[in-house]
Amino acid sequence: MTTTFSPQRIGTVLVALALLAAPLTLGGEEYVLRVLTVGATYAIAVYGMNLILGLTGQLSLAHGGFFGIGVYVVGLLTTDYHWAFWPSLAVAVVATAVGGYVAGVVALRTHEEYFAIFTMAMGFIIFLVISRWESVTHAHSGVSGVKFPEGFGAVDFSEPIVMYYLVLVFLLGAAYVTYAVRRSGIGRTLVAIRTSEDLARSIGVNVGLNKQLAFAASTTLAGLGGGLFAAVQGFVGPSAAGIDLTFEMLMFILVGGLGTVLGPVVGTFLVLFLFEFFQDFEAYRFLVLGPIIVVLVIFAPRGIVGYLNQFVGRVRSRRANGSRNPGRPHDDRKAESTTDVKEAL
Amino acid sequence: MTLFIQQLFDGLALGGVYCLAAIGLTLIFGVLRIPNLAHGALYMLGAYVTYFFLVTVGVPYVAAIGLAAVVLALLGVLMERLVFHPLRNAPHTHHMIAAVGAMFFFQAVAQALWGADFRRMESPISGSVTILGAQISWQRIVIVGTAVVVLGLLTWFVKRSIHGQTIEAIEQDRTGSSLVGISPSRVSMLTFGLAAALATVAAGLVAPINLLSPTMGDALSLKVFAIIILGGLGSLPGAVVGGFALALAEVMTSTYVSAAAGEGIAFVVIVLVLAIRPTGLFARAVQR
């Protein structure tokens, strides 16, 4: 961490440069730019999932539901109620933050698999309300004509490329929040809870409050991502709140690396790229992707970024130990779990 | 009154289906301590394989269900070996994520083999009988009857037979059972096979009433979770009571309140029960 050219820092700069340069190198490919922008809104929500699942170790399956709340708050306020975009987005963020905190009060009384089942039911209820409450949400006909954000000065957000950079700003913000949380005492507290709630409690951690804050933060990012998604898409339907979306986000984060700072963005764009690649046989993509999820969980549960971090950590510790200890012991897993707290990016 | 009796029988038939599906899930939870999110996908494949034997191969209805149950039992064992066995020491989130992967895979397989369109499975059992003024189709009576017989056989198997008793032994104390020579790994395979076969029987029975589609297992998957939470995770009698209770509640709500309310009641049940009792109703002391 002390050297300026640590591999992690170089990786971060590379990813940031790739994101910034992507629209320029694509030479005005509308479609690709659109995919990238949508991907960036997903990635913001995936950062939320990273906070609760990656750092705190709680599998929340209501994430797609909260994303949907963000989508529909912005979607409905800017169309049926003629609000401007920015106040609508603010309402979406506040609604998902408060909603997440209140839901967390009840949801976090449950543990482990009960928590997953509880949040799955919660997500499904949100989906049912959105897809059935015809008089408010228009049910399956969806919401069309969602407004673009209001520009200021020469900045016009109806330009796809400007919109892309706007979403990117929020994405970088989400990544920075994750980075800051990881480095702070809060991050270490959350990792302690992930490792063992009982142990964390025994050293004086307020487990309940910290989990609740992590959950509220995760739903807030889901709402923010959802709100931006609505503006990017212009037309939204109930599938933007579905349980399938939760599962897709789960795959994004798993591929990227749970609990890492770069994992969500790397995973999201990589898997979306694969989705586009398999687009011709869209319905069958899970013939390949389903087994990939299983194989990843079994053989590489730490994801791409997690794996790279582990590799860097191993090289570094080998260098530090000199020739004294050339080969690491076989149970790498335990050794990693202590190192990743300190240095994983 | 006629409407009520009609709905009562519909509820009982649905309850039979829910029971059979939920028992598999609760057995898996009892033995492996994992919520198998792919259970609904096994149910869905069970329906399609039954359809395959009945329509494409052309064997009689009962034989088709039996053959499908055998196929799915093998698939269940395979899934335990390939997906859950390698993860037996992993954190609990990993099981669920892997199960989701398996679920997506099964849905894609069904869609690749049979297409995304709804399919109708004609049942050889037709006609209906009038009881207290209500028209009850034979199919529904067969469902309830089969459910009762299968539940009876299952109870005998788990309580009386030596192989079935190993399931209960593992549920009660994993380490202790290993000490007396019960292989946890073999019991896991047995449980997965049994669970998949039971889900297939449920699916084969209900398929002539509902339509077949690759996503038919999604809603059921969540409903059986509601049932086993209601009845206590790992409890057999709980799954039976919960199955009938939820089915009746669902049918009555959609008749007397609204269809959407009937659809959502299972999830409201999960949320309410877990909000009041975070470890579920009738939860036994959780052993690790």
Which residue of chain A is at minimal alpha-carbon distance from B267?
A121
B92 touches chain A (CB under 8 A): yes
Q: Where are the domains of chain A?
A: 7-343
Interface membership of B268 toward A (CB under 8 Å): yes
pLDDT higher than threshold 60 for residue B165: yes
Q: Which of A117-126, A225-234, A326-335 bottoms out in mean pLDDT, i.e. has the lowest?
A: A326-335
Q: What is the mean pLDDT of residues A222-244?
A: 87
8 Å CB contact of B271 and A298: no
Q: How many residues does chain A have?
A: 345
Q: Just give the CATH number of A7-343.
A: 1.10.3470
Chain B CA closest to residue A124 = B267
Is pTM beyond 0.80? Reply is yes
Mean pLDDT is lowest, of A75-84, A131-140, A181-190, B246-255, for A131-140
Minimal C-alpha gap between B103 and chain A (Å) = 8
Check residue B49 and give its pLDDT.
93
CB contact under 8 A, A290 and B105: yes
Are A57 and B105 in contact (CB < 8 Å)? no
Three-state DSSP state, B137: strand
Q: Which residues pair with A144 in a beta bridge?
A: A235
The average pLDDT across B139-160 equals 87
pLDDT-based confidence at residue A282 (cuts at 50, 70, 90): low
Give chain B positions within 8 Å (CB) of A59: 92-93, 96-97
B108 with A243: Cβ contact below 8 A: no
Contact criterion met (CB below 8 Å) for B266 and B226 = yes
Shortest CA gap B248–chain A (Å): 20
Where does the pLDDT of residue A220 fall: very low under 50, low under 70, confident under 90, or very high at 90 and above?
A: very high
Interatomic CA distance for residues B198 and B270, integer angstroms: 23
Between A323 and B51, whose confidence is greater?
B51
- Measure B39 CA to nearest chain A CA, in Å: 14
In this structure, what DSSP letter does residue A324 have?
S
Q: Which of A106, A293, A334 to mutate to test the interface with B (most CBs of B within 10 A)?
A: A293
In angstroms, the CA A335 to CA B237 distance is 44
Partners of B268 on chain A (C-beta within 8 Å) are 125
Q: Which residues of A311-327 are buried (b: 16+ CB within 10 A; e: fewer)?
A: ebbeeeeeeeeeeeeee
pLDDT > 90: percent of chain A: 20
Judge whether residue A65 has pLDDT over 60: yes
Taking CA atoms, what residue in A is nearest to B263? A128
Q: What is the pLDDT of residues B229-241, one digit of tens each?
A: 888 777 888 888 8
Provide the shortest C-alpha distance from residue B64 to chain A (in Å).
Answer: 26
Q: What secondary structure letter does DSSP report for B119?
A: B
CB contact under 8 A, B111 and A294: no
Contact A287 B87 (CB under 8 A): no
pLDDT band at A327 (very low <50, low <70, confident <90, very high): very low
Q: Is B155 at the interface with chain A, CB within 8 A?
A: no
Residue B59 sits at the chain A interface (C-beta within 8 Å): no
Q: Which chain A residues are closer than 8 Å to B266 by Cβ? A: 121
Q: Rounded to a whole number, what is the distance in Å from the CA of B91 to chain A's nearest CA?
A: 9
pLDDT of A91: 93
Query: What ipTM, to 2 d.p.?
Result: 0.81
pLDDT tens digits, B169-227: 888 888 888 888 888 888 889 999 999 999 999 998 888 888 888 888 887 888 888 88
Considering only residues 213 to 232 of chain B, which have any Cβ-Cβ distance to chain A shorter than 8 Å? 218, 222, 225-226, 229
- Whole-number Å distance between alpha carbons of B27 and B247: 20
Selection from A217-226, A300-309, B10-19, B48-57 with the highest mean pLDDT: A217-226
Residue B248 to residues A320, B241, B245, B266, Cα–Cα distance (Å): 67, 11, 5, 11
- Name which of B148, B143, B147, B257 is nearest B249 in CA terms: B257
Check whether B31 has a pLDDT greater than 80: yes
pLDDT (tens digit per residue) in A82-111: 888 888 899 999 999 999 999 998 888 888
Nearest-by-Cβ selection for A128 from B97, B116, B264: B264
User: Which residue among B108, B271, B274 sits closest to A284, beta carbon to beta carbon?
Assistant: B108
How crowded is the C-beta side of B247, counted as CA atoms within 13 Å? 25
- The whole-number average pLDDT for the span B31-48 is 89
The pLDDT of residue A1: 45
What pLDDT band is residue B287 in, cutting at 50, 70 and 90? Answer: very low
Cα B121 from chain centroid?
19
- Is B101 in contact with A291 (Cβ distance < 8 A)? yes
